């Protein structure tokens, strides 16, 4: 009696084990507490084959871009009627170490006029003035405490060209922090126009 009981137990165990170890090596088998591995939330960059998202017509978590969406690489900007479109303004391909390349090759694609200069001034007052000061003398209220902020209109700083300034805003330099993630490229170029004006003082 006892023996046949053990035998039945053994058979059951054999059946259970053979069920969980299939021959298909891609099959992870039965999972214990799958919620621990597979998030129940609708993760935009994860799509479970067995879980359709009921809130989306196609059943996937990530929505397609709306019709008419333009990828950044093909984004074209114009700043006034009659301007030729400026391509690639939104993508800055140079690396942090390439400041000399920036000096040599970059031209300010934003036309210089009263409107862009004024916008540059507003942006400067928000992002740069606390350190660099109203007139770019390095005497902003934060600059006085932070120390070492240069005067734009003295020595080597007087002749910094547009590419150099754009690169410094994007990546920072020395003790100055990068601003590339806070200010979009078009706005950075407007600030460059205004910094040029401060250099001339
Ligand atoms: C937190 C203070 C701070 C802010 C904000 C700041 N700067 Fe600076 N900036 C500095 C300091 C400090 C230096 C000197 C860096 C060094 O040489 O170590 C500097 C240097 C520079 C230089 C000269 C770089 C060179 O070639 O030596 C430029 C150009 C410049 N900043 C532009 C800007 C502009 C434009 C903004 C606004 C978008 C800005 N900075 C915001 C502190 C700041």
Closest-CA residue, ligand 1 atom 18, reads 174
Q: In this structure, which residue's CA is closest to atom 5 in ligand 1? A: 128
Residue 103 has pLDDT above 60, yes or no: yes
Under 8 Å between Cβ of 153 and 163: no
Residue 23: predicted pLDDT: 67
Q: What is the pLDDT of residue 164?
A: 97
Cα–Cα distance measured from residue 90 to residue 39, given in angstroms and rounded to the nearest whole number: 35
Cα angle 140, 194, 98 (rounded to 5 degrees) comes to: 90
The rounded Å distance from CA 17 to ligand 1 centre is 67
* pLDDT tens for each residue of 108-120: 988 999 999 999 9
pLDDT in tens, 6-32: 777 676 766 565 555 556 788 777 888
Q: How many residues does the chain have?
A: 201
In this prediction, residue 18 carries a pLDDT of 59
pLDDT of residue 142: 96
Name the CA dihedral angle for 179, 182, 187, 191, rounded to a multiple of 10 degrees. -40
Q: Residue 90: what pLDDT?
A: 63
- Which residue's entry shows tokens 């039945």? 8
Confidence of residue 35 (pLDDT cuts 50, 70, 90): confident
Query: pLDDT band at residue 192, thresholds of 50, 70 and 90?
Result: very high
CB atoms under 10 Å from CB of 49, counted, come to 5
pLDDT value of residue 79? 58
Q: What is the pLDDT of residues 150-170, one digit of tens each?
A: 999 999 999 999 999 999 999
With contact defined as beta carbons under 8 Å apart, do 100 and 181 qualify? no
Give the tokens for residue 201: 């003082």
Per the structure block, which two tokens stand in for 70?
């333009």
Neighbours of 19 (CB within 10 A): 10
Which is more confidently placed, 147 or 77? 147
- Rounded CA-CA distance 16/130 in Å is 70
Pocket-testing residue among 133, 146, 176, ligand 1, by greatest number of atoms within 8 A of Cβ: 176
Contact (Cβ atoms closer than 8 angstroms) between residue 81 and residue 154: no
Structure tokens given for 36: 């621990």
Whether 77 has a pLDDT exceeding 70, the answer reads no
Give every CB contact of residue 172 below 8 A, 6+ residues apart in sequence: 178, 179
pLDDT surpassing 70 at residue 48: yes
Place of tokens 């006892």: 2
Atom 2 (ligand 1) nearest CA: 131
CB 117 within 8 A of CB 193: yes
């Amino acid at each position: 009696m006892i023996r046949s009981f053990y035998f039945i137990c053994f058979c059951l165990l054999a059946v259970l084990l053979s069920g969980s170890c299939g021959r298909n090596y891609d099959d992870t088998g039965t999972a214990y507490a799958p919620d621990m591995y597979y998030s129940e939330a609708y993760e935009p960059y994860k799509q479970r084959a067995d879980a359709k998202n009921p809130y989306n017509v196609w059943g996937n978590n990530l929505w397609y871009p709306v019709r008419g969406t333009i990828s950044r690489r093909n984004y074209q900007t114009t700043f006034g009627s009659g301007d030729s479109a400026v391509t690639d303004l939104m993508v800055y391909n140079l690396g942090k170490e390439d400041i000399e390349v920036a000096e040599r090759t970059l031209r300010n694609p934003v036309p210089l006029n009263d409107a862009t200069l004024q916008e540059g001034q507003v942006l400067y007052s928000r992002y740069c003035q606390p350190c660099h000061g109203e007139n770019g003398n390095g005497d902003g209220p934060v600059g006085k405490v932070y120390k070492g902020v240069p005067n734009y209109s003295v020595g080597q700083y007087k002749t910094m060209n547009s590419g150099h300034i754009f690169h410094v805003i994007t990546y920072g330099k020395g003790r100055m922090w990068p601003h590339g993630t806070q200010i979009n490229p078009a706005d950075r170029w407007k600030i460059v126009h205004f910094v040029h004006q401060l250099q001339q003082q």
